Amino acid sequence: MTQTTKEARPEPRAQGRTPLRAPKTVSGRGVRRDADDDLGGRTDAGRGAPAHTIEPLRPERGRDGAGAAGEEPAATVAPPGLKGLVVADTRVGAVRGAEGFYHYRGQDAAALAEAEPFEAVAHLLLEGRMPKTAEERDRFGAALGAARARAFGRLGATRTLRGSLAEVLDDVPTLDQTPALRRAAVLEAVGALPVLVAALHRRAVGRPPVAPDPALGHAEDFLRMVHGRPPSAAQAEALGTYLALTLDHGMNASTFTVRVITSTGASVSAAMLGGLAALSGPLHGGAPGRVLEMLEAIGGPEDAPAWAEARLAEGAKLMGFGHAVYRAEDPRSRTLARVARRFEDPLVARAAAIEEALLATLRAHKPGAAIVTNVEYWAGVVLHLSGLPRALFTPTFAVSRAFGWGAHLLEEAERGKILRPSARYVGSA
């Protein structure tokens, strides 16, 4: 087995920001008490005013950490959406958007996904290193297969993914578990998700669930459970690459949600359910299916510029373009485009030509802006070519991202400190 590595580069330090900390006091009409004190019913002895009458902090206070003379410094005010704010130290991985690069534990994630079996890359996320031998990789794959089998044996009648996951997993608080027990619980969760996604899909179309085959790879077995027949080698390989590419990607919304829940000492089950809930929002993980709808609406490449101009004039976004972090090419999109070209399907050439036309239109519409094709564009094509129905695109993303959630969960549980930021009161509406 070839191990593809990239020398780890130190992550840049956040510049010009005071570390996030909770304010010690609340100020208002001469009252200064701990922020969590119950002020209801108390009075300011100096003025007789109700102590619960709190004046809002002025918006400018706290931005530079300075308060009025004699007061303690106010807390740092986070930017909208917490953009650029460092909220955790991690060894799991990071994204360097300006370079078009992301890594898993210091190793080039896109290169690993293209060169290594899925199980080897998943081992890196959960175990902290690449497997040393093929036998070690296969033992990890066998453990995943056994977890899939156990999940199938606990299938209930619930017809939603979050409800089904709650049924098959134990609800033991991570605070009460050893690191080994937490890791075992994470393995149960990541093993359960493909089983549940496939079973719920088959029930929805009137077919019985298919039992997993623990001897198969994670991606191959997932496709087999969805369709009730073995996938082609090309389909299994393509899906395996997609899953490996999307295991983790920095402190995204669902990963942050998982870490917040874990910080309370909640169970692996609760944290994973929180991740799924965050992923249910259309702004996070829901675009691949919409890309295919867009390609169908456009028709041929020659129709793309006029179609895009009309959409942009309406203020609409073009699915599969732009990213909150990347200012250079998204390496996941580049890798998936190569994976798609392994299939002899007319959709691939049409998608490539439309991509070029849409990029040209977007760059003309916003001169000087960093316009890149994001992972969703080619993910939609690859998932379609792998044989998955569009309704399973986002659940399939969860099958992958759960490994990243698990790695962050284990790290957060070891940290053992609850995430408890503050809010700045700005007055009633």
Do 296 and 280 fall into the same domain? no
User: pLDDT tens for residues 155-169?
Assistant: 988 888 999 999 999
If asked whether residues 186 and 265 sit together in one domain, one would say yes
* Spatial distance between the Cα atoms of 311 and 238, rounded to a whole number of angstroms: 32
Residues 198 and 263 in one domain: yes
Q: What is the pLDDT of residue 93?
A: 97
In this predicted structure, what is the pLDDT of residue 58?
54
pLDDT value of position 9: 44
Question: Is the domain of 192 the same as that of 235?
Answer: yes
With CA atoms as reference, report the closest residue to 412 among 246, 265, 248: 265
Full-model pTM? 0.82
Number of separate helices (H) and strands (E) present in the chain: 15, 5
- On whether both 269 and 355 belong to a single domain, the answer is no
Judgement on whether residues 273 and 308 belong to the same structural domain of the protein: no
Question: Which residue among the candidates 123, 249, 323, 384 is catalytic per the annotation?
Answer: 323
User: Do 304 and 251 belong to one domain?
Assistant: no
CB 223 within 8 A of CB 239: yes
Sheet arrangement for strand 101-104? 93-96, 101-104, 107-108
Question: Measured between alpha carbons, how far is residue 142 from residues 138, 145, 306 in Å?
Answer: 6, 5, 52
pLDDT tens per residue, range 55-102: 555 554 444 444 444 444 557 888 888 888 899 999 999 999 889 999
Does the annotation count 323 as an active-site position? yes
Task: Choose, from 188, 237, 376, 412, the residue flagged as catalytic.
Answer: 376
Same domain assignment for residues 175 and 251: yes
Name residues of the chain where pLDDT drops below 70: 1-74, 286
pLDDT of residue 29: 34
The enclosing domain of 225 has a CATH number of 1.10.580.10
If you ran DSSP here, which 8-state letter would residue 128 be given? S
Domain that holds residue 323: 288-385
DSSP strand pairing (101-104 vs 107-108): antiparallel
The yes-or-no answer on residue 376 being catalytic is: yes
Look at residue 397 and tell me if it is in a domain: yes
The pLDDT score that the predictor gives to residue 329 is 86
**Residue 279, Cα to own-chain centre: how many angstroms?**
7
Q: How far is CA 86 from the centre of its chain?
A: 16
The confidence score (pLDDT) of residue 37 equals 37
